[in-house]
């Protein structure tokens, strides 16, 4: 996947998460499993769901329990480290911290997520917010459809059917 440029941040994801845990009304311990998860998730940028993360981490011999993964993902979203994206049938996560604001094209056929940045869209959103006197926190546009690869495959199939 094409990665967007990283955004300069003052803390590592791990430091930011530790700070979040410590500042809870009831401070929470940063466990080894959570540390593994944060390090693993922030080693690469992608869009993943909880089950994919569990499978991948297990394949790499990490000790992960399903309830911990679900609980920690929720906390990582709460701490501003991850962004949750609802795709209808699936819920995926991606880095929010240290990663540029962007939007997505979502392929219904193969499930791929294509990231893009479009300044004209950002401008439009700012105008809409201004009109409504709404303070912009962020946005997450999802454009659904069929990606170029799937479209090509479909066209090829159609051509073959006609022969
Ligand atoms: Zn596709
Ligand atoms: Zn993304």
Q: Which ligand is nearest to the CA of 144?
A: 1
| 31 Cα: distance to centroid of ligand 1 (angstroms) | 38
CATH code of 57's domain: 1.10.10.10
| 104 and 66 fall within a common domain | no
Range of the domain at 65: 8-99
Tell me, what's the pLDDT at 154? Answer: 86
Residue 57 located in a structural domain = yes
Q: How far is the CA of 91 from the centre of ligand 1 (A)?
A: 18
Residue 59, H or E segment: helix 50-59
17, 81: one domain: yes
| Residue 3: inside a domain | no
Same domain, 29 and 94: yes
**Cα–Cα nearest to 115, from 128, 106, 124, 126:** 106
Tell me: the pLDDT tens digits for 50-97?
999 999 999 999 989 999 999 999 999 999 999 999 998 889 999 999
73 and 107, same domain (yes or no): no
- pLDDT-derived band at 135 (thresholds 50, 70, 90) equals very high
pLDDT for residue 125 is more than 70: yes
Please give the mean pLDDT across all residues of the chain.
91
Whole-prediction pTM? 0.84
| Number of domains, the chain | 2
């Amino acid at each position: 996947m094409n990665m967007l440029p990283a955004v300069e941040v003052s803390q590592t994801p791990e430091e930011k998460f530790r700070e979040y845990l410590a500042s809870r009304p009831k401070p929470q311990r940063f466990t080894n499993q959570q540390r593994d998860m944060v390090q693993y998730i922030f080693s690469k940028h992608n869009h993943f769901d909880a089950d994919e993360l569990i499978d991948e981490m297990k394949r790499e011999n990490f000790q992960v329990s399903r309830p911990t993964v679900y609980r920690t993902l929720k906390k990582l979203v709460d701490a501003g480290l991850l962004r949750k994206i609802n795709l209808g049938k699936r819920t995926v996560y991606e880095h929010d911290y240290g990663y540029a604001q962007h939007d997505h094209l979502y392929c219904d056929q193969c499930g791929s997520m294509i990231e893009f940045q479009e300044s004209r869209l950002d401008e439009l959103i700012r105008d809409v917010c201004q009109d409504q006197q709404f303070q912009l926190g962020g946005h997450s546009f999802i454009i659904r459809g069929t990606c170029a690869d799937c479209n090509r495959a479909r066209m090829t199939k159609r051509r073959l059917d006609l022969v």
